[in-house]
Each structure stands twice: as C-alpha cells, then as structure tokens.
Structure 1
Amino acid sequence: MSNSSHSKVMATIGVGVGMTVLSGLSFLYYKYTKKEVIPTKWRQVGELDELYMYPIKSCGAVELDEAVCENLGIRKGDIKDRSLMIIEKSGQVITARTYPKMFQISPKIVGHSKLIFSAPGMKDLHFDFHALGDNSRGDVEALIYGYTATVLDCGEIYHKWLSEYILGESEGLRLVYYPYSFPTRPIDKDYSEGVFTKQDTGTFQDISSYHLINNNSVEELNTRLKEPVPFTQFRANFNIKTTGQPYEEDNWQWIRIGNDSIFRNIGPCYRCILPNINPYTATRHSEAEPLKTLKTYRVIPGAKSKSPGIGIQMGLRAQGLVRKGDCIFVEDLSN
C-alpha cells in the first residue's frame, strides 16, 4: 500500500474511533435508560445445531465447529464473518441477488489466516489475510446500499479471478476488505428505534453482526411449501434446535449460547429475495419461493418493513467462545 493510501485509511480509522466513542455512549444510554441489563436468570430452550460464517459477503458458507463471538461478528483465527466483499469498478457492492452464482464461490479455511477460494470451472485461489498489506493497491470507496465506506483493495489477482468467474470477463470486479476493528455503518432505518446500537452493525453484513434462525420455524414454513427449503437457505450464523414452538424466537429478548456469549434480540430478520436462491445449485426458484409464502403470514404487524421476517438479528452484549452443541438459553422471566 502506498504511503498516501495508508494515511488515508488511517485517517478514516481515526474518525471511526471517535464514532466508536459516541457509539459507546449510545450503548450506555440504552443500558441505563432502557434497562439494558444482562439477565442473571436463564432457562434452556435448545442447542446450537449448526454454526456458520461467510468470509465473503454473499458467497458460500464455511461450517465451523467453534468460533469466537466479537462485536464485529464471528471470528475464526484471523478470519472474520463477511470481512471481504465484491464490488464493481464504480464501487457499488454486488450480491447473489443479481449474480446467484456467487453462492458457488466456496471459501475454505486453512490454518489461522488463510482461505482457499474455489468455484466451478476455476482453479483454486489462495488468500492470506496476513499478506493484505503486500498485495493490496490502496484504499477505495465502496457503496453499500446508500452507505459509503473506505475499504482496502485486495489486489489484481483476486479481481481477475472473480471477474472471470462471475462476469466471464477479464476485469470489472474488485475484492475489498473491511480494515477496521469497529463497526462504521449507520443503523438501518427499519431498526432505528429500540435497542439496536451502531455497535451492532458489524462489518459488511446487511443489518447486524449476528443472525439466528430456529430450525423449527423453517420446518413449519416447509409444511406450507411444495418444495421444502434447507435451513442453510437463510444464511444464518446460528441454526438452533429447540423443543418449543416455531417462531418463538421472535419474543426472546436475551439469548445466551454456551457459557459466555450473550446476545440481544434487536429485531426480526426481514427477508429480501435472497432465500429464493438455492445455495447449493445457485438457481432462483421459478415461483419466488419461499418468499412468496412467507409474505402471506410473516409480515410483522406494526413493523416499518413490509418484508416478511423469519429469524432474528442480534447484537453482542458479552463476548465468548461458541461451539456446535452448546446449550441455548434465554432470559428466565418466571418468578
């Protein structure tokens, strides 16, 4: 990275530090004026069935046995959830909504800091987070749904590989990295009230740093569909098994996974067209399912968003390690 580019990124980070302080004050406001106090009584409701991270936004999942939960999202070694993103030359983010074949870009974690990218018809490509400073060409402006972020350009070799696979051309796309240790994105307008704070917005996630879905809810949805969908079609970090009712997670306020990781339910996960794309075949459903069916009964009454919700968005309130099979607890409100 050039000295001028490095200076620009560092200046942006400096501004972000000030924003982080303000976000911290905002968090304290919610904690003390809206009774955001971590519960001391819990009841078990299920267990963590599957644990996922998505190193590249809108690309394939990596299933994990364990991971660290931090403010930005799930971390495995030096690899963070959705810390990489693909943009056009103009800086505009692209996703599988427009390019479904992005789902078939499969990252594999190797060691502490490395990924191997694979895709149909392409040679595997190695990526090392520790080498970003050597391979990058400086910082660029990325446009993410009306929000502009200064991000790190990952280098020509990745741009060419992605452009060839996604566009069938030698150029046109760029791979960029989220270079900050704190969230920088504004809160989405659909979540501007309540307990959602700026500290919950994560890296390149659409809304928040964590997403949970109850497998019972997906199973209930599948009873309404001609073609059942897999749990993974909803791209959550946490797929959980419970003995309770479908959609009961809507009403959970506090969630603990394992011994230490504590989360706040900050709102429903309102669904775009992405769940209409099969993650394994990268094909879009011809009848716009399951979104079409979800719209008939899962539009949340009184919500700002008119999109249907399934699963919940979460913000981290206590950092910790999570493992597959961990018990899931919610606040115990009984006397």
Structure 2
Amino acid sequence: MSQISPRILTLVGVGIGVSILTAISSFIYKRLRSKKEVIPIKWRKVGTLDQLYFIPIKSCRPIELDEAFCENLGLRKDDIKDRALMVIEKSGQVITSRTYPKMFKIIPKIVSRSELVLSAPGMEDTHFDYADLDTKSSVSTIKALIYGFHADVLECGEIYNKWFSQYILGEPEGLRLVYYPHQNATRPIGRFYKEGIYTKQDTGTFQDMSSFNLINNVSVDELNTRLRDDEQVPLLQFRSNFYVKNTGPAFAEDNWKWVRIGNEVVFRNIGPCYRCIVPNINPYTSERHPEGEPLKTLKTYRVFPGSKYDSPVMGIQLGLRNNGSVRKGDCVYVEETE
C-alpha cells in the first residue's frame, strides 16, 4: 500500500483549514447581520409624512397618494405597483428620462383599483388595466436589460408599444411597454449595493436601487438656500417615495438607521441615495437645467469622503422590514439611541 506524501497531506490540511475558517466567518457574519436586523423597541418622533408618491411607470410622472401599502417590491395602491411598468427598446434595453426627459410629461391617473389613464402632450389618452395582464406561468417572458441585469418581463400589448413609440420617438414603433410579473425581487445585489446593507429582497421591481426612498424636506430647503432664485428645486425633483416634514437638521436622514412610519411599517436604512442626472430635470416642464443644477451644487458638499462613487448623496434607500399601510400625516419615528 503506497503512502500519501507529506506535501499532499499538507495541502489537504490547508484546504480543510480554509473550509473551516470560511464556515466560521460565514456564521459570524450571519449572526452579526441578524443582530443588525433586530427591529428596535424604543423610538423617537422626528416628523410627519408630508408627501407620499409612487411611480407606476418608470421615469414617468409620479402620482401623489393619501395612503398606500408597503410590500417588499415597493409601494402598492390596490393592484397598481410602484415602477412595475417600464419602457424598453426593441433590443430590450431600458429607456429613461435621463435620455428622454419628455417622459416626465407622461401622466398616469388612477381611475379604478387596477386601471390607469395615460396622458401626454399631443396624444389621445389611453387606458391601461392591470387586470388585462396575463401573468400565468404558461405565458412566455422576454428579456429586458436594466443596469446590466437581464430581467424576465411580460409585454403589455401592441397598443401601448405604438402609443409610447409615437410620443417618445415620434415613430409608430421602436419601443415596448413591459411589466414586472414576479411576486418577489429577482435582481441580484449589484455594485451600487456594496456600500450599504442590502439584501436581495430590497432590490424591488424596476427601481434604480431599492424598493423605497426617503428625503427629509429640510435637506431640500437647505439645498435651495445655496441656489439662485431661478434655480430653486421642488421636492418632486428628487422622485422619492417619502418626504418627511420636520424641524431639522438638514441631512439628518443620513444617520437614521431605522425608520418607522405610523404604527406598523418599519424600514432599515440600507444605504445612501447616490444621485444620477435626473434631479437636473424639472419634473413639470421636463427641461434639463443648462448649468447642471442642482447636482453641480450638491457635488460641492454632498459627495461622501472615502466613497467609491463621485455622485452626490441626497436621501436614503430603505429596505422594508415590517409591511403595512402608510398615510400622509403619519408620524415618522427613528431608532432611539442611548
């Protein structure tokens, strides 16, 4: 019987040791992470929910709500979900207001539990009913490319393809309206999530980074003190879901580790909101600021030291940890720290 060489025994021992250390590290990481996820018992009030918005079609006009239900994929109003619809090119690539600012002028209006009316300048209104979507597992999906991730989506129908193509491109074809048919988040945690404590369930439907976003109104007020009178930005320019009215200080939300809205809905602050060029576009006129404001000013004092990204931060990304309904006027609480 041949003997095993000392070199092989050493390599096997090293391999076993590495496996054990990896398992121990994974266990410790999970324990520490689970401890971080324990919902606080003590809270302190920081303000009230001043405005509540959701965006049925990615990059189109938001809808202001009085109340909505919070679930892992995002806000939901009856059968209508936040950013569960988006427009793609024939190739499958998502298009947004970054390239087509006129998308801001596509205005959805809720007319029933499952129905929207879509309006846009120069276009006849069109009705969209979620009840007409065939989301059965037997229906084949197509691939859509959104920020490097290929999502399985459903086409909504040729009538909508023509409507969006005509308005956005001025052509009878070229674009498709698609729907997010899944009950859970399917997007992997990408590079933009590395600086937060995201879980896969936080990636939402077609949102840029997470299912929910929050801004402290005082932060926008403070920004406006640095801008000229003709450059003042409305809250809506930042396209957040939750706008909190409080007495300050500005950017306090950066340090809100836990947020509760009302009596039951609890969120985890899972990372800062790095801003793209969309805040440079007026949400009402769809015009891009010629001098790049307000991002130009934000970059002078809201780029985080040590961050891997040079985008300025405005607001926080939230991951849902206890679902339920939220309403305008609800008290907003944060974790009470000793």
TM-score by length of 2: 0.88
Aligned-partner Cα distance in 1 for 2:31–2:132: 39
Aligned-partner Cα distance in 1 for 2:34–2:57: 37
Note if contact 2:214-2:244 (Cα within 8 Å) is conserved in structure 1: yes
Question: Does 1:302 find its partner at 2:294?
Answer: no
Aligned-partner Cα distance in 1 for 2:312–2:248: 21
Q: Which amino acid aligns with 2:204?
A: G
Aligned-partner Cα distance in 2 for 1:50–1:95: 24
Residue in structure 2 matching 1:168, options 157, 166, 170: 170
Please state whether the residue corresponding to 2:167 is helix, strand or coil: helix
Aligned-partner Cα distance in 2 for 1:304–1:67: 35
Q: What whole-Å deviation, never above 9, does each CA across 1:52-102 have from its counterpart, x for those lacking one? A: 000000001110000000000000001000000000000000000000000
Aligned-partner Cα distance in 2 for 1:208–1:54: 13
1:222: which partner in 2? 224
Alpha-carbon shift at residue 216 of structure 1 (Å): 0.3
Note if contact 2:192-2:209 (Cα within 8 Å) is conserved in structure 1: no
Q: Which amino acid aligns with 2:134?
A: G
Same amino acid, percent of matched pairs: 67
Residue in structure 1 matching 2:184, options 138, 160, 182: 182
Please state whether the residue corresponding to 2:134 is helix, strand or coil: helix
Alpha-carbon shift at residue 224 of structure 1 (Å): 0.6
2:17: which partner in 1? none
Note if contact 2:195-2:271 (Cα within 8 Å) is conserved in structure 1: no
What count of residue pairs does the alignment treat as equivalent? 308
Note if contact 1:187-1:207 (Cα within 8 Å) is conserved in structure 2: no
Q: Which amino acid aligns with 2:149?
A: Y
Alpha-carbon shift at residue 312 of structure 1 (Å): 0.5
Aligned-partner Cα distance in 2 for 1:193–1:50: 28
Q: Are residues 121 and 84 of structure 1, via their aligned partners in 2, closer, same or farther at CA, if it must alter by over 3 Å?
A: same
Q: Are residues 169 and 222 of structure 1, via their aligned partners in 2, closer, same or farther at CA, if it must alter by over 3 Å?
A: same
Q: Are residues 202 and 246 of structure 1, via their aligned partners in 2, closer, same or farther at CA, if it must alter by over 3 Å?
A: same
Please state whether the residue corresponding to 1:133 is helix, strand or coil: coil
Aligned-partner Cα distance in 2 for 1:83–1:280: 22
Asked which structure has the greater CA Rg, the reply is 2
2:247: which partner in 1? 243
Alignment of 1:48-87 (within 5 A): 48-87=49-88
Alpha-carbon shift at residue 30 of structure 1 (Å): 6.5
Alignment of 1:318-329 (within 5 A): 318-329=322-333
Q: Which amino acid aligns with 2:209?
A: I
Q: Are residues 231 and 67 of structure 1, via their aligned partners in 2, closer, same or farther at CA, if it must alter by over 3 Å?
A: same
2:102: which partner in 1? 101
Alpha-carbon shift at residue 196 of structure 1 (Å): 1.0
Residue in structure 2 matching 1:141, options 140, 143, 157: 143
Aligned-partner Cα distance in 2 for 1:30–1:165: 52
Judge which range, 61-70 or 191-200, deviates more: 191-200
Alpha-carbon shift at residue 162 of structure 1 (Å): 0.3
Q: Which amino acid aligns with 1:55?
A: P
Q: Are residues 294 and 32 of structure 1, via their aligned partners in 2, closer, same or farther at CA, if it must alter by over 3 Å?
A: closer
Q: Which amino acid aligns with 1:40?
A: I
Unaligned runs of 5+ in 1: 1-24
Q: Which amino acid aligns with 1:191?
A: Y
Aligned-partner Cα distance in 2 for 1:207–1:190: 7
Alignment of 1:310-321 (within 5 A): 310-321=314-325
Please state whether the residue corresponding to 2:36 is helix, strand or coil: coil
Aligned-partner Cα distance in 2 for 1:98–1:194: 28
Please state whether the residue corresponding to 1:306 is helix, strand or coil: coil
Q: Are residues 255 and 78 of structure 1, via their aligned partners in 2, closer, same or farther at CA, if it must alter by over 3 Å?
A: same
Aligned-partner Cα distance in 2 for 1:126–1:255: 36
Q: Which amino acid aligns with 1:242?
A: N
Aligned-partner Cα distance in 2 for 1:30–1:239: 33
Note if contact 1:49-1:325 (Cα within 8 Å) is conserved in structure 2: yes
Unaligned runs of 5+ in 2: 1-25
Alpha-carbon shift at residue 192 of structure 1 (Å): 1.9
Aligned-partner Cα distance in 1 for 2:195–2:223: 28
1:121: which partner in 2? 122
Note if contact 1:46-1:240 (Cα within 8 Å) is conserved in structure 2: yes
Note if contact 1:216-1:242 (Cα within 8 Å) is conserved in structure 2: yes
Please state whether the residue corresponding to 1:101 is helix, strand or coil: helix
Q: Are residues 302 and 210 of structure 1, via their aligned partners in 2, closer, same or farther at CA, if it must alter by over 3 Å?
A: same
Q: Which amino acid aligns with 2:55?
A: Y
